[in-house]
Amino acid sequence: MLFLQNMVFAEKKPIELKSTKDQNEQTQIFRSIIINVTGFYDTETGKATLYFHRPIGKATVTLTDETGFVVFSQIIATDMEDVLEFSLPKQTGIYMLSIVSDIYEGIGGIVL
Domains of the chain are 11-111 (2.60.40.3080)
pLDDT at 18: 77
Confidence grade of residue 13 (pLDDT, cut at 50, 70, 90): confident
CB 61 within 8 A of CB 91: no
- Using the predicted structure, report yes or no on whether residue 24 has a pLDDT greater than 90: no
- Using the predicted structure, report yes or no on whether residue 98 has a pLDDT greater than 80: yes
Positive or negative: CA dihedral 45, 15, 82, 105: negative
62/19 Cα distance (integer angstroms): 15
Quote the pTM value: 0.77
> What is the tens place of the pLDDT at every residue in 43-67?
788 999 999 999 999 999 999 999 9
| DSSP 8-state secondary structure symbol assigned to residue 4 | H
Q: What is the per-residue burial (b if ≥16 Cβ within 10 Å, else e) of 66-81?
A: eeeeeeeeeebebeee
